[in-house]
């Protein structure tokens, strides 16, 4: 009896072992025994082939092209209309339904603009000088101050630096309409009302540039700065010759944003003297003359947008790079 029990136990163990062996053989079929690098490269190849198969759809490519073409045309349509309206005679401007492209181009709108500006109390050149002066001074000051402050916050452990940067981020949430009254009270107490500094100083102290510059400077490796210090470079030289070239997309973006903001500013809340007002104010005066000045207004709009668009076209690659990397650390 004992021998029979031992034989049955051995038979049960053999059956269990055979069951486990068959199970392991089935699992082994699904296991890739190739090296990890080979498996990874094959996966990448399969994915690339899959993507290629997806991109080979001509109907999908055509639909995507049509969608992008329509979206691009709708985006540039206002600019096309501004350019064409500047050369339209009055009968085409008031035609209904309106036309996009000019049929009988004329320069009468620009001639009327010269007449209007020539008979104004303040010469057009004065409005233009005020706008250029404020735009250049405010843009340059904002870039320099924002980059210097960002350099210190990014490269050094300033006491309370995190709190300061948090306040800067919180300040971005408040629109200009909320801070208009405090700005006026501060500028009035400093005696800067009715001067160009009432426009320039708030722009120089803006927080957007400081935030953007710090985000870019955080990505600069400390090895660059340490190597420059070992070579005997001072702090200002490191900032000007090493850091600023590396964050070129950021400060060019700031130049464009501040240029557009200041070029189109009115300054009517802090400047009351006629000889200190901006070009946008002169345009607003032309627009308030009624429908008879519609053609002249269209000509002025074309003049106003030419400079900002030209600045953006020459530096658009840096702007795109800034928008892609400003949130990274």
CB 237 within 8 A of CB 293: no
Better pLDDT: 289 or 51: 289
Residue 122, CA atoms < 13 Å, CB-side half-sphere = 17
Q: Tell whether the model's pLDDT for residue 166 goes beyond 70.
A: yes
| Lowest-pLDDT choice from 28-32, 171-175, 262-266 | 28-32
What is the pLDDT, as a whole number, of residue 59?
Answer: 80
Percent of the chain with pLDDT over 70: 79
Q: Tell whether the model's pLDDT for residue 43 goes beyond 70.
A: no
Contacts of 36 (CB under 8 A, 6+ apart): none
What is the per-residue pLDDT across 209-228, written as a single tens digit (0 to 9) for each?
888 888 888 888 888 888 88
* DSSP track, 239-263: IIIIIHHHTHHHHHHHHHHHHHHHH
240 burial (CB, 10 Å; 0-12 / 13-18 / 19+) is: middle
What is the per-residue pLDDT across 233-243, written as a single tens digit (0 to 9) for each?
888 888 888 88
What is the 3-state composition of the chain as percent helix, strand, coil, each rounded to the nearest 5?
A: 75, 0, 25
CB 144 within 8 A of CB 236: no
CB 162 within 8 A of CB 270: no
What is the per-residue pLDDT across 122-150, written as a single tens digit (0 to 9) for each?
777 788 888 889 999 999 999 999 999 88
Pick the closest to residue 87 from 326, 302, 282 (CA basis).
302
Residue 102, SS3 per DSSP: coil
Quote the mean pLDDT of the chain: 78
What is the pLDDT, as a whole number, of residue 329?
Answer: 40
Pick the closest to residue 203 from 135, 266, 298, 304 (CA basis).
135
| Lowest-pLDDT choice from 41-50, 199-208, 287-296, 312-321 | 41-50
* pTM of structure: 0.68
Q: Tell whether the model's pLDDT for residue 320 goes beyond 80.
A: no
Pick the closest to residue 261 from 220, 203, 187 (CA basis).
203
Q: How much is the average pLDDT of 162-180?
A: 84
Q: How much is the average pLDDT of 75-90?
A: 85
What is the pLDDT, as a whole number, of residue 328?
Answer: 42
Q: How much is the average pLDDT of 36-48?
A: 51
* Confidence grade of residue 39 (pLDDT, cut at 50, 70, 90): very low
CB 279 within 8 A of CB 293: no
Q: Tell whether the model's pLDDT for residue 29 goes beyond 70.
A: no
Q: What is the dihedral of CA 309, 310, 312, 313, to 10 degrees?
A: 110
């Amino acid at each position: 009896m004992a021998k029979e029990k031992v034989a049955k136990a051995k038979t049960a163990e053999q059956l269990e072992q055979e069951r486990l062996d068959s199970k392991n053989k089935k699992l082994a079929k699904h296991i890739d025994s190739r090296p990890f690098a080979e498996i990874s490269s094959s996966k990448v190849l399969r994915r690339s082939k899959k993507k290629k198969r997806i991109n080979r759809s001509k109907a999908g490519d055509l639909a995507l092209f049509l969608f992008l073409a329509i979206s691009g045309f709708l985006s540039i349509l206002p600019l096309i209309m501004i350019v064409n309206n500047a050369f339209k005679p009055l009968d085409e401007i008031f035609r209904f339904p309106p036309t996009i492209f000019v049929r009988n181009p004329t320069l009468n709108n620009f001639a009327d603009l010269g007449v209007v500006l020539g008979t104004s109390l303040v010469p057009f050149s004065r409005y233009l000088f005020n706008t250029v002066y404020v735009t250049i001074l405010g843009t340059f000051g904002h870039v320099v101050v924002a980059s210097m402050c960002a350099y210190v916050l990014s490269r050094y452990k300033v006491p309370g630096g995190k709190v300061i940067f948090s306040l800067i981020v919180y300040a971005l949430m408040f629109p200009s309409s909320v801070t208009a009254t405090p700005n006026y009270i501060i500028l009035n107490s400093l005696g800067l009302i009715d001067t160009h500094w009432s426009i320039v100083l708030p722009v120089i102290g803006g927080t957007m540039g400081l935030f953007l510059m710090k985000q870019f400077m955080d990505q600069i490796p400390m090895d660059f700065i340490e190597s420059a210090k070992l070579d005997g470079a001072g702090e200002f030289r490191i900032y000007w010759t090493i850091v600023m070239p590396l964050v070129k997309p950021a400060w060019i973006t700031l130049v464009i944003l501040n240029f557009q903001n200041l070029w189109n500013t009115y300054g009517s809340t802090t400047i009351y003297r006629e000889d200190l007002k901006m070009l946008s104010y002169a345009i607003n005066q032309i627009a308030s003359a009624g429908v008879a000045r519609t053609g002249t207004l269209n000509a002025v709009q074309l003049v106003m947008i030419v400079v900002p668009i030209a600045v953006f076209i020459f530096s658009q690659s840096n702007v795109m790079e800034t928008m892609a990397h400003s949130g990274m650390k």
